[in-house]
Amino acid sequence: MAETDATAGVTVLLDKVRNGDPAAPGRLFAVVYDKLREIARGQRRRQPSADTLNTTALVHEAFLKLFGTGTRDFKDRAHFMAVAATAMRQILIGHARRNSALKRGGGQEPASLEAIESALWSEGGFAPPAAEALLALDAALERLQQQSERQSRIVECRFFGGMSIEETAVALAVSTATVKRDWSMAQAWLHREMQRELG
């Protein structure tokens, strides 16, 4: 029963978001965020050794749990995923922060981007290099938001939400060409900013 209530609740919320209710996005975000966290915790309980979060799978699972199957169209899905992408970002960054603090212990010099990059090819999951990279990305993304809100949203959708070009375009109501351009430019910009920060 609770599940159905939740489903009805998000459906209504999603419609409200689409109709411009100013309070709706925040409430939808909270619901999605909780759901994602819940799934992520469950996933890690099942796989304590796998210290990774499959973002795309998580988002999909959350969508299914919140909306059931086959009820909403592509547009709704895209809007939902865009919200989930922001939630995912917070979850991942929180995770990275804990990981980074735990593993680094303090007093240590942060690794350079180059070092992180090369480590990413040899290590996986939430080993410190990935955590450092995510934290630096988060900081850079905040600065990107000051330059271009749209580009930062596109990065959230593409990177944290695992959304396709088309889904991102629909969710943010821009053309696919814009998404493609912004995505490539934002990656270059963020990479440069991360390098400035990390050296």
Partner 1 sequence: MTHEFRIGAADWERLEVLWEIASTLPPTERDAMLRSHSVDDALREELESLLARASAAEAFFDRLKTVVSEAPTEAADAQGDPPVADPIIGSTVGHYRIDAPLGQGGMGIVYRATDLRLRRTVALKLLRAQRLDDSHAKERLLAEARTAASLDHANICTIYEVGETGEQLSFIAMGFYPGETLEQLLRRGPLPISTAVDYATQIARGLGAAHQRGIVHRDVKPANVVVTANGVVKLLDFGIARHLDIGASHDRTTTPGTIAYMSPEQLTSGAVDRRSDLWSLGIVLYEMCAGTRPFGGEHQGAILYAIVNELPAPAATLRNDLPARVGAIIDRLLAKDPVQRYSDVEALIADLTSSTLLRALSLPMPATRGLRNRIAWTAVAIGAMAALAAAWPATRRPAPSERRIAAQDLYQQGHRDVLFRTEAGRLEALRFFRQAIAVDSTYATAHAGLAHLIVMISDNAGGSRREQLLEAEAEARTAIRLDDRLAEAHASLGDVLLFDYRFAEAEAEFNRAVELDPTTPYVREFLVWLYVFMDRPSDALEQAERNVKENPTSPTAITEQARGLLVNGRCNDAMPLLKRLMLLQPPPARAGVIAAQCYAQEKQWQNAIDAVRPVAENTPLQGAPWLGFMFARSGDVDRGREIRDTLLVRWRRGEVGAYGVAVAYAGLRDLDEAFAWLDKSIDDRSLRYNIMEPAFTDLRRDPRFDRIRQKLGSVR
Decide if residue 87 touches partner 1 (CB under 8 A): no
Write down the least CB distance from residue 198 to partner 1, Å.
10
Decide if residue 103 touches partner 1 (CB under 8 A): no
Tokens 């499959």 locate to 54
Residue 171: which of 68, 72, 27 has the closest Cα? Answer: 72
Residue choice 28, 76, 126, 168 for contact with partner 1 (CB under 8 A): 126
Amino acid (one-letter) located at 72: R
Contact between residue 183 and residue 158 where contact means Cβ atoms under 8 Å apart: yes
List of residues 6+ apart from 102 with CB closer than 8 A = none
Residue nearer to partner 1 on the CB measure, 176 or 184: 184
Q: How many positions of this chain bind partner 1 (CB under 8 A)? A: 45
Given the rule CB under 8 A, which of 7-15, 31-39, 76-84, 180-188 is the region that contacts partner 1?
180-188
The count of residues in the chain is 199
Given the rule CB under 8 A, which of 16-24, 27-35, 111-119, 168-176 is the region that contacts partner 1?
111-119
CB atoms inside a 10 Å sphere around CB 169: 20
Residue 89: which of 191, 17, 163 has the closest Cα? Answer: 163
In the complex, the residues that contact partner 1 under the rule CB under 8 A are 47, 50, 52-57, 92, 113-114, 117-126, 130, 133-134, 137, 143, 146-148, 159, 162, 181-182, 184-185, 187-193, 195-197
